Chains A and B, each alone.
Chain A
């Protein structure tokens, strides 16, 4: 009965073959080939240049800052995003539809504009007296802003589908609300949170637009890796730019892999 017990075999009909062909071609032209070319470019001047680029102090600092900021923002998103999704799905309050729409603003806004918006509240003329310009926190803030919707949007549909019966069953068995959330709700949400976190992290590593305005790009302090790539390109150092790009790509792929394994582990046998 179960698919996993059957031997894998091709289910391709003629129209399905055509569809697969189109998909692969499309994916190749847009993603695989350009990526392959970047990898080739990074190796063009040899391993020494590749390694030399990554160990350059300024570059290494930029990469470290970007990865730290993306990881920190992702960690925050996993908690806050789940909380926002919970509020939007489970609670009824005036203005809910509006919040629902506003959540997507970081998606809809060109990230350069996002930088401008953040600068007005957290820049030198901040009405709150908080100025992040030129500090490492600016990178964190920029990434936090542009990645906000990911976890919310991946967790929401799962939460809508999640039967409240299951929580009530746990409570009737004596579980407190906290225990119910930890032992019953969270495992069900884990794959969605992991998916959102993956997207959030990948987007955070690649964020450029918001950084250009908000961070001030001070070398070794508030300069992110994508900005570093840009300055390599401006000086016609394609191989170095490609080396940083390939490294970020590898980290992003690793993150995707890790989150995938994690969520599979939790949901091994669940529906």
Chain B
């Protein structure tokens, strides 16, 4: 059960938004469609929601072929990036909308709306207008509205994209906890790898209309299947013949014993502190690569190593680091 996507293609003129996508989304999970803008992830979500029709391929939801079923009849909850609030209706009316369409008895609707507002922590705000809510509250309202119809699938299009960093983080945690309670099969689109890694059970990395990799956050991060995934899912730097994560570079001051015997010597050419983190660049003595090596350390680590801007150092990949040949880049 869940969502079965098979051979899905979608073209806009000459542009191939999706090419032969086959994917199986298990029931009850929280799946992230992760990719850069223009990768086709939103098109895929909108095909699931019935807002777009594919050129080829099929979509089955809980065993039913919905490829040509209009959005109205799919019973899918959809949450939009910019909330898509019904501005002239109160928060409670917004949430009740889908239930009123289904002509449920008034008393049932009232009860259900109350439950949902409780669930999204807006119980005190039912009589308010969407314009009187903050962005985070509006998105929670939109979520309650989508959940009201007991959807078979919940689709979220960059649900936190319009929110500021702090609210985004809160809402992310909250969505994770909500999903643990509600268990509705959910698919959300994001271009933010941190968001996907933090919230999702399964990540589908999409690029140029194709699926690059499907896996758990750990699999995707630790064992990227392609160069694209490696570069997209985290930062990467070059050290001699290999690519690796900047935090996987072992650095010591010159004159100290480096744990890796093949360490290369160089000079710290740039030192940039961002909060608790230090990002530095090491220009190697040997001309084995064009740019410098990027290294990430915590402030505490840097203090322990006794290094600072302009110092002479030695660098080498951490023995357990995930390395990729640098040839193709």
Contacts and interface: CB of A to CB of B under 8 A. Distances in A.
B97 A188 contact: no
A91 interface: no
A170 interface: yes
B86 A170 contact: yes
A184 B98 CA distance: 12
B72 interface: yes
Contact of A168 (B78, B86, B131): B78
Given A172-B76, A188-B88, A163 B129 contact: no
B71 interface: yes
| Overall SS of chain A's interface | helix
Interface residues of B, number: 33
A149 to B, nearest CB: 26
A33 interface: no
A175 B101 CA distance: 6
Interface residues of A, number: 23
A271 B71 CA distance: 27
Nearest to B78: A172
Contacts of B148: 173
Interface string B142-170: 10011011000000000000000000000
B80 interface: yes
A245 B85 CA distance: 46
Interface in B23-61: 49-51
A113 interface: no
Interface string B247-258: 000000000000
A237 B104 CA distance: 66
Contacts of B82: 163, 165
A270 B87 contact: yes
A125 interface: no
Contact of A175 (B72, B87, B88, B90): B72
Contacts of A188: 87-88
A171 B72 CA distance: 5
B51 A168 contact: yes
A1 B76 CA distance: 37
Given A168-B78, A175-B101, A184 B86 contact: yes
Given A179-B101, A188-B88, A271-B87, A172 B131 contact: no
B88 A168 contact: no
B87 A172 contact: no
Given A174-B75, A270-B87, A271-B87, A168 B80 contact: yes
A269 B74 CA distance: 32
A264 to B, nearest CB: 12
B102 A169 contact: no
A266 interface: yes
Contact of B102 (A172, A174, A269): A174
Contacts of B101: 173-175, 179
Contacts of A270: 87-88, 129, 131
A166 interface: yes
A126 interface: no
Nearest to A174: B101
A176 interface: yes
A269 B49 contact: no
A231 interface: no
B80 A169 contact: yes
Nearest to B99: A173
Nearest to A267: B88
A172 B88 contact: no
Interface string B103-124: 0000000000000000000000
A187 interface: yes
Contacts of A174: 72-73, 75, 98, 101-102, 149
Contacts of A176: 72
A125 B3 CA distance: 67
Contact of A172 (B50, B85, B90, B132): B50
Interface in B147-201: 148-149
Contacts of A269: 88, 90, 129, 131-132
A179 B98 CA distance: 11
A173 B145 contact: yes
Interface string A171-201: 1111110010001100110000000000000
Contact of B71 (A165, A166, A168): A168
B198 to A, nearest CB: 26
Q: Which of B50, B101, B142 has the most CB of A within 10 A?
A: B101
Given A172-B77, A173-B98, A184-B86, 17 more contacts: A163-B84, A165-B82, A168-B78, A169-B80, A171-B71, A171-B72, A172-B51, A172-B71, A172-B72, A172-B78, A172-B146, A173-B148, A174-B149, A183-B86, A266-B88, A269-B90, A269-B129
A-B CB proximity, top 6 nearest: A173-B98, A269-B129, A165-B84, A169-B84, A172-B78, A270-B87
